[in-house]
Chain A
């Protein structure tokens, strides 16, 4: 109800409280946003809206937001240092920014480090990625959210699904196994789309089995919660694969033959046996009894198993090698590792295999497709470990053994990697394709690290995080290791951290132990420029220039749902495609400026206009399925203007009548998905590996570079193999060693109430968090608590082996594995600039060590499970 004579308006835009980007209606009354509702007809959210989305009003009107530029006057940087910020004008701020960036350009462009939050992928593209390219620095990374999940899960989903992750085909799936992921029950990944689809599926009768050390939201909604030792999922999954292949003989031969490299012959050197003429991988034709290229038109059949001879070498098929390799993963062995009872592993494997209904088909819209209503789904939980790359391979392989990859009912690519074009214009199309070896290549992959095929590594590496001398990693934290200076010197990297440009990431809290991140990395910068809506721990500790950004309700962005792969979250499964924009519901306060406008102005000032336009072209090509049409080409005489850029992109993709004005009015455009797009694998001649041959070769190349520069033990190179394995986290050894004080394994889980560390400042979300028994507490099993002499409500310390510790209040729950400690990340703020968040919840990341010992040697992702000592806090 609004007062009489008030001016009311409804603005359709995209939510920005997480990267789920649901389409919302912002209701305003006298130019105040007074309500956030779902847009009923939008496929992005189905008209629903979550706690965070509605609470965005409180973020928009937070009196603690930054209202004007701030300049640090205290040269000292540190966690408990008062930055002594001084208010300056925008004119001054821009002059300072220009001067610092120009100095960097003159010294060495590569000294600019571009950092971003993962929460706003569309803004990030224009604020950071395009500017980074225009500026000419290779150094870029996203903070915690991206770092913590970005490596194992994304790399593996990229290789197997040309996508960012996997999600069950909720419409048809009958049995989904979740390995430490919350899809459809929590935050992030197309949160509300999945939430409704998953609820429909549960109501329809889809069974959910959740492996997790904690009875999370998804585990409590599931038919079965299987408590598992944190990070040991690979052992169980490999055991299930062993049972399916070797004992139950349940596997999809047709799929394995045509959609995987299972029949490819592998020689004694561990590499593919290749045709001498074409250099293509060979398979064994059991009818003709010859080895011929996998795609030869004379191929009659391909053997899945067995020893076969090619070029006089004793070869085995890839699947044969896998099958033999995993024989050691008996349920009993896996049970010892994971604490999951062997008979549970047997039962779940059998149910999974049987539910796949191998051989059955389903008719959808006139297409007869394989019907495989079972899926093995992973994400963050499986990722955050020393063995994350192989763990994710182990979990995803289950899908490809039963042949459910992107088939009805199975594990679908999240988000969809195939779009055959917007019907009105035929534009915006992208597809997958095979490389020469027949394996899946993602075509619409918006970021530098194509998951496959491997790029040649840089020799020497150019990036400070050495990412470019490896093949698989998305991001690395090597630039934060204690020995980074030594590494940069040895690898002859001629420049050092100089200026940092940060978009809303809080690197003090989101990566690992803040003291180490600060001392080893952030303090090395001459000047740090940060755009944010609050002064967070990052700004207070290290930022020199803090610029007040707009909230997502005060700014434009061109597309929140494309690219569909990457953290832009597009809905998966049958339904509609959607392109949605973000637009201001209200005008920002006078001294708040959208970062993109400042970046474009800065590009102009630094003379980077043409380079920025070029970077835009690259982005548009990779993210939106092709370059601009010739008639829409940029006029480089025209200064960079974001509204003009948006209008051009929109008209280019959707036609002249659907430019920015159209989208301002309607907020989004939708069109139906086609069966060939949703279940693309059935229509594409692409394969995925059961034997990851090229990783051996890629590893050899990276290792050669490391050895050449005198760092032979940069990582444990033995991880660069072709077959998945279980490898323990270092924390297990500490935890289980005799008389260990650090006898509990701590892990974090994600609450649906929060997006990383951003949302604790929101008083509505904070209030619920305070009133919810889990969000701000340390979860402990009552038996463990008894053993430790603590009660519910006691304040305890958790301390890692390096003496880093974090404090919190205990909440006892039977829903956690007894030797584990669960924490909802990432709270425990201390910044003065976020008084609502200050002192609330537990700061898990304090316990994370950023070093080689806690880095997956293959994906270079962070291992975040920690062996901790738990003891009562004095005076609690």
Chain B
């Protein structure tokens, strides 16, 4: 059997061509990848900047990534963008509906939570009072689902072996949190007014990097021990053009180098150099984040029907 079906009339593992760059519509289908990426890191940044750090500006930026970036990317991607509202209609069965409904909840409650800080001080709650905390709790819960739902979207596709694993929601969640940390760090570097504990960012990052590394390793082992279609997906991740993104950007640039930089950071934790190291590490992690999503989409193969 040929490795993949490069013609319609062949019986072989078949590449998914709908989601991500290089699909049926080449560039435009990439908007979906951007949407997943922005949704993940935006929601992650909101969570990290509200729950772990108290950093409203960063939380706002994260929220804008979701509200503006992710939404716009989805609209660009859709075949009939004017009918976008229909996407919300089937939460009982469709992970897309679920994810997008919680995206809206995140935007509303996240925005509501931050609103008193940004001119809407007439609102009957503050970020500190009980009502505010309740609103935040709803927003956090929604953000959690936004971070994880795309993993479930992929995992629900039974015929794509490399996606049909519960590792994906976990991985996407971990990457969303890490992306959120990276975005928070970058915001912090550019925001001279902010006062955050750099150490805690770095420590958190270290934990996340280790977790992501472990998850990627599990994922590879999982593919290697699965059916032939999954093995072909793995071959594409490791040895085809996609390997540049998977190994080069995701693993080397997105995991290994940040790990090294974080280690260096432990020794050189003062001043401009520290900021620079943190910034580089954060940018690389974000590159790794989008790359791993891109690689997983690109390596998605339908099992042959016969």
* A contacts B: CB pair < 8 Å: yes
For B10, list chain A residues within 8 Å (CB).
Answer: 771, 773
**Chain B residues closer than 8 Å to A771, beta-carbon distance:** 7-10
The chain A residue sitting closest to B11, CB to CB, is A773
- Tell which of B6, B8, B9, B10 has the most Cβ of chain A within 10 Å: B9
Q: Which one of B6, B7, B10 has the greatest number of beta carbons of chain A within 10 Å?
A: B7
Whether B2 is near chain A, meaning CB under 8 Å from some CB there, is yes
Bound CA span A773–B9, Å: 7
| Contact status B9-A772, CB under 8 Å | yes
In the complex, what residues of A have CB within 8 A of residue B7's CB?
770-773
> How far is it, in angstroms, between the C-alpha of A772 and the C-alpha of B9 when the chains are bound?
5
Per-residue B-contact encoding for A411-453, CB less than 8 Å = 1, 0 else: 0000000000000000000000000000000000000000000
Tell yes or no: A96 within 8 A of B by CB. Answer: no
Measured CB to CB, the closest approach of chain A to B81, in angstroms, equals 29
The answer to the question of A606 belonging to the interface, with a C-beta cut-off of 8 Å to chain B, is no
Nearest B-chain residue to A793, judged by Cβ: B6
A792 touches B2 (CB 8 A): yes
Question: How close is A811's CB to chain B, nearest CB, in angstroms?
Answer: 9
Identity of the chain B residue whose Cβ is nearest the Cβ of A812 in the assembled complex: B2
Q: How far is the CA of A589 from the CA of B293 in the complex (A)?
A: 56
Which A residues are CB-close (under 8 A) to B9? 768, 771-773
- Give the number of chain B interface residues (Cβ < 8 Å): 6
A793 CA to B3 CA, complexed, in Å: 12
- Rounded to whole angstroms, the CA-CA distance of A773 and B2 in the bound complex is 10
Chain A positions 779-803 with a Cβ under 8 Å from a chain B Cβ: 792-793
CA–CA, A773 and B6, complex, Å: 9
Question: Measured between C-beta atoms, what is the minimum distance from A773 to chain B in Å?
Answer: 5
Chain A residue numbers with a CB within 8 Å of B8 are 771
Q: How far is the CA of A772 from the CA of B10 in the complex (A)?
A: 7
Q: Mark B1-40, 1 if CB is under 8 A from A, else 0.
A: 0100011111000000000000000000000000000000
Minimum Cβ distance to chain B for residue A840 (Å) = 13
Look across to chain B and name the residue whose beta carbon is closest to the beta carbon of A774.
B9
Chain B residue with minimal CB distance to A776? B7
How close is B304's CB to chain A, nearest CB, in angstroms?
14
A270-283 contact mask (Cβ, 8 Å, vs B): 1 or 0: 00000000000000
CA distance A768 to B8 in the complex (A): 8
A768 to B7 alpha-carbon distance, docked (Å): 9
Q: Quick one: closest A residue to B10, CB to CB? A: A773
Q: Give chain A nearest CB distance to B171 CB in angstroms.
A: 33
Complex: chain A residue closest to B12, CB-CB:
A773
In the complex, residue of chain B having the shortest beta-carbon distance to the beta carbon of A770: B7
- How distant is the Cα of A336 from the Cα of B24 in the complex, in angstroms? 52
Report how far A159 CA is from B8 CA in the complex, Å: 46
Which residue on chain A has the smallest CB distance to residue B2?
Answer: A792
Complex Cα spacing A812 to B8, Å: 17
Inter-chain CA distance A770–B9, complex, in Å, is 9
Q: Which residue of B lies closest to A775 (CB)?
A: B9
Q: Which residues of B contact A772 (CB under 8 A)?
A: 7, 9
Task: Identify the closest chain B residue to A792 (Cβ).
Answer: B2
Task: Tell me the bound Cα distance from A792 to B3 in angstroms.
Answer: 10
A768 — which chain B residues lie within 8 A by C-beta? 9
Residues in chain B near residue A770, CB distance under 8 A: 7
Q: In the complex the two chains form, what is the Cα distance from A773 to B10 in whole Å?
A: 7
Q: Mark contacts of A808-823 with chain B using CB atoms, 8 A cut-off: 1 yes-contact digit, 0 otherwise.
A: 0000100000000000
A814 to chain B, nearest CB (A): 10
* Chain A residue at minimum C-beta to C-beta distance from B8: A771
Cα distance A772–B6 when bound, in Å? 10
Shortest distance between the CB of B93 and any CB in chain A (Å)? 32
User: What residues on B are CB-neighbors of A812 within 8 Å?
Assistant: 2
Q: What's the minimum C-beta distance from B189 to chain A, rounded to whole angstroms?
A: 48
Nearest CB of chain A from residue B202's CB, rounded to whole Å: 48
8 Å CB interface, A746-794 against B: 768, 770-773, 792-793
Chain A nearest CB, measured from B26 CB (Å): 19
Q: Which residue of A lies closest to B6 (CB)?
A: A793
Expressed in whole angstroms, the Cα–Cα distance for A772 and B8 within the complex equals: 7
C-alpha gap A730/B6 in the complex (Å):
38
Complex Cα–Cα for A772 and B7 (A): 6
Residues of A177-196 whose CB lies within 8 A of B: none
CA distance A398 to B2 in the complex (A): 40
Tell me the complex Cα distance, A770–B10, Å: 11
CB distance from B7 to the nearest CB of A (A): 5
CB distance from A803 to the nearest CB of B (A): 32
- Point out residues on A near B: beta carbons under 8 Å: 768, 770-773, 792-793, 812
Extra 9 A-B pairs, beta carbons < 8 Å, given A770-B7, A773-B7: A771-B9, A771-B10, A772-B7, A772-B9, A773-B2, A773-B9, A773-B10, A792-B2, A812-B2
Q: List 15 A-B contacts (CB under 8 A).
A: A768-B9, A770-B7, A771-B7, A771-B8, A771-B9, A771-B10, A772-B7, A772-B9, A773-B2, A773-B7, A773-B9, A773-B10, A792-B2, A793-B6, A812-B2
The 6 closest A-B pairs by CB, nearest first: A771-B8, A771-B7, A772-B9, A771-B9, A773-B10, A773-B7
